[in-house]
Structure 1
Amino acid sequence: MKILIPKALCLAMTLCAINAVASVLPSYQTSDQWFVDAKDVVEQRNNLVADTNKAKNVILFVGDGMGVSTMTAARILQGQMRGETGEENFLSFERFPYTGLVKTYNTNQQTPDSAGTMTAMATGIKTKAGVLNIAPNGLRGDCDSSKGFELTTIFEYAEAQGLSTGVVSTARITHATPAATFAKTPERNWESDDKLTDEAKAAGCTDIATQFVEFGKGDGIDVAFGGGRRHFLPKDVTDIEGKAGKRTDGVNLTEKWQEKTQGTYVEDKAGFDSIPADATKVLGLFNASHMRYESDRANDVAGEPSLTEMTTKAIDILNKRGDKGYVLVVESGRIDHAHHAGNAYNALKDTLEYANAINAAKELAGDDTLIMVTADHGHVFTMAGYAVRGNPILGKVVGTDRSGNPKSELTLARDELPYTTLGYTNGLGFRNLGSETNADASYADEPITGRHDLTAIDTTLPGFHQEALIPLGSETHSGEDISVHAVGPGAAYVQGVIEQNSIFHIINKALGLNAE
């Protein structure tokens, strides 16, 4: 016989059941710090008021190549650098109240590249890999096919509404991610005119550096810091560090930019530190190519500012440009490059500097600023091996015994060799390992030798390359989702699993621009 229970009685019975379970929890469980802390976090979430207010400013942070495994390893490294076990640590932005996951594929590739992914964030639509702000109708590397399919970027739309704009990167300003804020080209590698094909020249395409100078209907982007001097200088001109430019058209774009904007141009740390207090238009190009890894920055010939210094300076400059607000994009570009080299040390150290820059921005920016932190894609970077808690994240695996206690010796693989917690699915690490390895070196001519005995090798040194399963000339991107974190007005729109192009629409919604 089916027994019907009144709804009110059913609810009361359910509550009683819950209370009964709670009452049997032992005190040593409910007083445990893990229990107490987790309960507090849930209560904080319960009291969180969804922030859908209008933002005056937006800062979009992009950690190039910063997948979830990179964040995990970086937070552990940061904690261990403070003398902690590390796993319990949080990076600055991981405590932001809103978090989501982002799908990163391009329209033609399951595993994406930075041009297609940043175009999605900058324009609101997905497109092909390798193209910047060209709809998927166009073909990569084909200028004529791109005509009529140029996309309007978030910077163009913001400037049309009277907002100021800025871009900061540790990569070349003409590189894919920063270039996606201003350039429209079917080929991301057309950074200066020396790379333009005959077809591109005949069809009227211009290089990315030229597009930076010519950007906008006014005097262009208000503040830009990064590398890439060589693409702004003629090949017969040498820069402050004695490196020649790449341009074949004889145009010195740094001079052209100054003539157009009457702005301040700087090339080194001294120039950066001497930017006039009243400057509201600034271009800083601090290296011929990419800027240095954070761990190597002190060795730069002319000196470079850190990502944190560039970020805070950019915010300071943009704040002086009036009360209409701004859109700032900040990229930590060399996380990606270190991963391509199979070098976890520099990928993690640059991630930590990225987290520092975000923390500094949060302290400097007002409550009227939406800060979003994300990546463009991940890498085939892994963290595995059952290492004991607190084991050096850059070290070799030491596991636990049958009782759950740390072992006294390294864990060995089936080939009787030790291995590191961090590794790569593919890349250079298959063929060459050693503490003397340079993270930027090429080993294309060396024999494939397989696994090395790491017993006597210090795997925590800056130049060590982690092992890789599949031998390739460069480690590749990965195709899994990356994360996005947000705080400030409009942050509540960052929830769930979203397509990457949704980030453009979140920014527009938060700013109240309602782009159509």
Structure 2
Amino acid sequence: MNFIRKIAICSLTASLSAIAAATPLPEHQTSNAWYTDAQSKLLEKLQTNNRFKAKNVIVFIGDGMGISTLTSARILQGQLNDQLGEEGYLSFEEFPHTALVKTYNVDAQTPDSAGTMTAMMSGLKTDVGVIGVDEDIVRGDCSTVAGNEVITALELAEIKGLATGIISTARITHATPAATYAKSADRNWEDISDMPEAAVFFGCTDIADQLVNFENYLEARYAGVDVDGIDVAFGGGRRHFLPKDEAFNSPDASSAVEGDRTDGRDLTAEWKAKYPQGSYVFDQTGFDAIDAATTKQAFGLFNESHMQYEADRLNDIAGEPSLTQMTEKAIDILDNQEKGFFLMVESGRIDHGHHAGSAYNALTDAIELSNAVKKAYDMTNREDTLILVTADHGHVFTIAGYPKRGNPILGKVVGVNSDTPAQDAEGQPYTTLGYTNGRGMMDLGSETNADASYAMEINAGRKDISAINTESPGFHQEALVPLTSETHSGEDVALHASGPGAQLVQGVIEQSALFHVINQALDLINQ
């Protein structure tokens, strides 16, 4: 800490003491744990370093992790550890800087992940459903892509010579991870079989192809650029890289024909030919065998579609790593680059848990994201690594009623000074957590896969849950408006920051500002 800042902190501490002396506070107030905890946190923030330039940047995206999800996840985390829950924090909630982020897309009040992640990675807002392009594009029209492509933070990091990585528990070709590397008129063009004939005719390429051939496409787009490709890519979505031919099935394929590609290409083989010293893996055993000290490139596709929910991960056919394990391995590989690195980590299945109406799965995946952030924080130097944690949007997920302190967050509302569930106007119990819309109440017992609800009939509206254990993994909360899938919400989300440049994270900001914080820290544009 420099001398001037020491003086400033001492001066403020002295001022606080002088105020306390001039305005005496009761001893029971100043010794109260709530009082001392808040005071110590303030002093800790005052001692945070004042650096603005970083060597490394890690961006964590909790897909769908709105404010109500953060609150509920922190309570559940505490209750799983035999605490009341409300007093705790997720790891990143203790970061010194926080802002609220506006999430709307150019053409939508309630956004989708393609438009929001493009804003965060490229510094400008765009339309729903398009990736890596500005708002002048027409969704689904390949001919409008040319000239409207935007460059991303990951691409700029590559050009600067930094190591780069992307991680997602969703398909690695899904909207959020794709927005770091792809340009597409439609987020659904994950492989060529998803594309209309006109798009192929006009020369648009599918998202999986753009990932495997990222190096070639980036060098072709910018004259004189020479990059070495994305160093780490871990996620799901293997079907988009394999031909529609059972001969190419992976050992842990869950479908009779795992691949979807109709062009006969095996992109995993193309990646291995392009990076012969790299490691391509598809299961936990292969992942564990990656030697981070010597590996330059690693490509892991751990599931045919999305990876498992964290609560359901042990049921995977061949085993797959957790988000924390993937984050740890990625950092171990990327920090071999002396210039530094850029890493994006998405917990994609928080979003899917909510869409399925399962608070249990959404919250347990949010807790796992918190674990991954803590691992990254512990592995890196806060003096040279900027860590940003945010969401792309929220969900219509509510915390309501008047439950007493410590009441199980997944349980029925039990009021203060009561031992029995509260009742609604019709004499029925109700849960603290619920959804404004969606598939409605499901009682699937010990089922840990939230997607099992899609095999059930929609069951929206108030139901009699008197005899149901709402704390079981398979309970799906009630929903008011019946829909085939619960929807996103349009309110602001939180952004938490630690490290050089974190000081800029404050107030209410546009989502596109996140890119500019990253650029400020890494000097991506002023190379």
Normalised to the residue count of structure 1, the TM-score between the two structures is: 0.92
Residues 1:325 and 1:20: Cα distance change in structure 2 (over 3 Å): closer
Could you tell me how far apart the structure 1 residues matched to 2:526 and 2:121 are? 12
Residues 1:191 and 1:41: Cα distance change in structure 2 (over 3 Å): same
Paired letter, 2:499 = G
Partner of 1:290: 306
Partner of 1:201: 200
Residue 521 (structure 2) pairs with residue 510 (structure 1): yes
Q: 2:238 pairs with 229, 245, 248, which one?
A: 229
Q: How many angstroms does 1:36 deviate by?
A: 2.4
Partner of 2:164: 165
* CA deviation string 1:320-365 (max 9, x = no partner): 2x21111000000000000000100010100111000000001111
Partner of 1:28: 28
Partner of 2:11: none
Partner of 1:184: 183
Paired letter, 2:119 = A
Could you tell me how far apart the structure 1 residues matched to 2:370 and 2:69 are? 12
* CA deviation string 1:113-163 (max 9, x = no partner): 000000001111100010001110001111112221111111111111111
* SS in structure 1 at match of 2:450: coil
Structure 2, unaligned runs of 5 or more? 1-15, 220-226
Q: 1:327 pairs with 342, 347, 354, which one?
A: 342
- Please show how residues 38-437 of structure 1 align to structure 2 within 5 Å: 38-45=38-45, 47-49=46-48, 51-216=50-215, 217=219, 218-236=227-245, 237-242=248-253, 243=255, 244-262=258-276, 263-276=278-291, 277-320=293-336, 322-366=337-381, 367-400=383-416, 406-429=417-440, 432-433=442-443, 435=445
Could you tell me how far apart the structure 1 residues matched to 2:458 and 2:160 are? 57
Q: Conserved in 1, the CA contact under 8 Å of 2:439 and 2:459?
A: no
Partner of 2:4: none
Could you tell me how far apart the structure 1 residues matched to 2:229 and 2:48 are? 38
* CA deviation string 1:455-483 (max 9, x = no partner): 11111111110011111110000111101
Paired letter, 1:247 = R
Q: How many angstroms does 1:384 deviate by?
A: 1.0
Could you tell me how far apart the structure 2 residues matched to 1:492 and 1:460 are? 40
Q: How many angstroms does 1:280 deviate by?
A: 1.0
Normalised to the residue count of structure 2, the TM-score between the two structures is: 0.90
* SS in structure 2 at match of 1:382: strand
Q: How many angstroms does 1:106 deviate by?
A: 0.3
Select between 490-499 and 58-67 the one with higher mean Cα deviation: 490-499
Q: Conserved in 1, the CA contact under 8 Å of 2:156 and 2:525?
A: no
Residues 1:49 and 1:274: Cα distance change in structure 2 (over 3 Å): closer
* SS in structure 2 at match of 1:110: coil
Q: Conserved in 1, the CA contact under 8 Å of 2:443 and 2:474?
A: no
Q: How many angstroms does 1:48 deviate by?
A: 3.4
Paired letter, 1:446 = E
Q: 1:460 pairs with 437, 459, 471, which one?
A: 471
Residues 1:502 and 1:268: Cα distance change in structure 2 (over 3 Å): same
* SS in structure 1 at match of 2:89: coil
For this pair of structures, how many residues does the alignment match?
494
Q: How many angstroms does 1:444 deviate by?
A: 8.1
Could you tell me how far apart the structure 2 residues matched to 1:435 and 1:451 are? 19
* SS in structure 2 at match of 1:129: coil
Q: How many angstroms does 1:454 deviate by?
A: 1.1
Partner of 1:474: 485
Q: Conserved in 1, the CA contact under 8 Å of 2:49 and 2:500?
A: no
Q: How many angstroms does 1:21 deviate by?
A: 8.2
Could you tell me how far apart the structure 2 residues matched to 1:449 and 1:499 are? 34
Q: How many angstroms does 1:453 deviate by?
A: 1.3
Structure 1, unaligned runs of 5 or more? 1-14, 401-405
Residues 1:417 and 1:232: Cα distance change in structure 2 (over 3 Å): same
Residues 1:57 and 1:190: Cα distance change in structure 2 (over 3 Å): same
* SS in structure 2 at match of 1:429: coil
Q: How many angstroms does 1:495 deviate by?
A: 1.1
Once superposed, what is the RMSD of the aligned Cα atoms?
2.1
Could you tell me how far apart the structure 1 residues matched to 2:318 and 2:345 are? 22
Could you tell me how far apart the structure 2 residues matched to 1:279 and 1:72 are? 39
Q: Conserved in 1, the CA contact under 8 Å of 2:53 and 2:521?
A: yes
Q: How many angstroms does 1:88 deviate by?
A: 0.3
* SS in structure 1 at match of 2:311: helix
Could you tell me how far apart the structure 2 residues matched to 1:500 and 1:52 are? 23
* CA deviation string 1:3-59 (max 9, x = no partner): xxxxxxxxxxxx9x9769833x433333322222223333333x2346333101100
Q: How many angstroms does 1:220 deviate by?
A: 1.8
Could you tell me how far apart the structure 2 residues matched to 1:450 and 1:35 are? 43
* CA deviation string 1:71-99 (max 9, x = no partner): 10010111111111000001110111111
* CA deviation string 1:389-428 (max 9, x = no partner): 000001000002xxxxx20211001121111111111101
Residues 1:448 and 1:73: Cα distance change in structure 2 (over 3 Å): closer
Q: Conserved in 2, the CA contact under 8 Å of 1:170 and 1:333?
A: yes
Could you tell me how far apart the structure 2 residues matched to 1:171 and 1:447 are? 24
Could you tell me how far apart the structure 1 residues matched to 2:182 and 2:401 are? 43
Q: Conserved in 1, the CA contact under 8 Å of 2:181 and 2:211?
A: yes
Could you tell me how far apart the structure 2 residues matched to 1:443 and 1:282 are? 34
Residues 1:461 and 1:515: Cα distance change in structure 2 (over 3 Å): farther
Could you tell me how far apart the structure 2 residues matched to 1:350 and 1:293 are? 7
Q: Conserved in 2, the CA contact under 8 Å of 1:235 and 1:250?
A: yes
Partner of 1:6: none
Could you tell me how far apart the structure 2 residues matched to 1:117 and 1:515 are? 25
* SS in structure 1 at match of 2:451: coil
Could you tell me how far apart the structure 1 residues matched to 2:167 and 2:454 are? 31
Residues 1:495 and 1:52: Cα distance change in structure 2 (over 3 Å): farther
Q: Conserved in 2, the CA contact under 8 Å of 1:168 and 1:310?
A: yes
Q: Conserved in 1, the CA contact under 8 Å of 2:460 and 2:481?
A: no
Could you tell me how far apart the structure 1 residues matched to 2:462 and 2:477 are? 11
